[in-house]
């Protein structure tokens, strides 16, 4: 499929428009049509659920392989513990639960991930 530059820009504009309408749909509805109860709670956690659906498979994908190729359990635990993705995810969960602030959890997770990446193996 070969698109001209005009078609590419029109496609980008159309996708931006669809995203804008989809994300702001509930803002233009009358108050009596606003979601309530369970739907409102589900919409509140939808971005987090999407983020988890993207990152969890990446984090746990190689864990069974690391355990399977290790000669003993101590080597397997060391291999799992030295995984920067897992350490970052654990730091994120611990800090976010302790502080009840997602931003602090994200900062801690990113810091742990980057710190373990900096350590030569």
**What is the Cα–Cα distance from 19 to 77, expressed in whole angstroms?**
43
pLDDT digits (tens, 9 = 90+) for 14-59: 999 998 888 788 778 888 877 888 888 887 888 878 888 888 888 8
* The pLDDT of residue 68 is above 90: no
Q: What is the DSSP string of 90-119?
A: HHHHHHHHHH--HHHHHHHHHHHHHHHHHS
* Secondary structure of residue 78 in the 3-state scheme: helix
* The pLDDT of residue 80 is above 70: no
What's the mean pLDDT when you consider all of the chain?
85
- 36's tokens: 């309530």
pTM score, whole prediction? 0.58
């Amino acid at each position: 499929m070969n698109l001209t530059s005009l078609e590419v820009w029109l496609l980008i504009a159309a996708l931006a428009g669809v995203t804008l309408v989809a994300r702001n749909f509930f803002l233009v509805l009358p108050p009596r049509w606003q979601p309530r109860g369970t739907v409102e709670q589900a919409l509140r956690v939808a971005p987090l659920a999407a983020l988890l659906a993207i990152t969890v498979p990446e984090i746990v994908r190689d864990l069974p392989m690391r355990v399977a190729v290790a000669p003993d359990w101590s080597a397997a635990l060391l291999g799992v513990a030295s995984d920067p993705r897992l350490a970052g995810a654990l730091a994120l969960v611990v800090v976010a639960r302790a502080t009840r602030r997602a931003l602090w959890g994200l900062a801690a997770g990113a810091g742990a991930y980057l710190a373990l990446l900096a350590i030569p193996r």
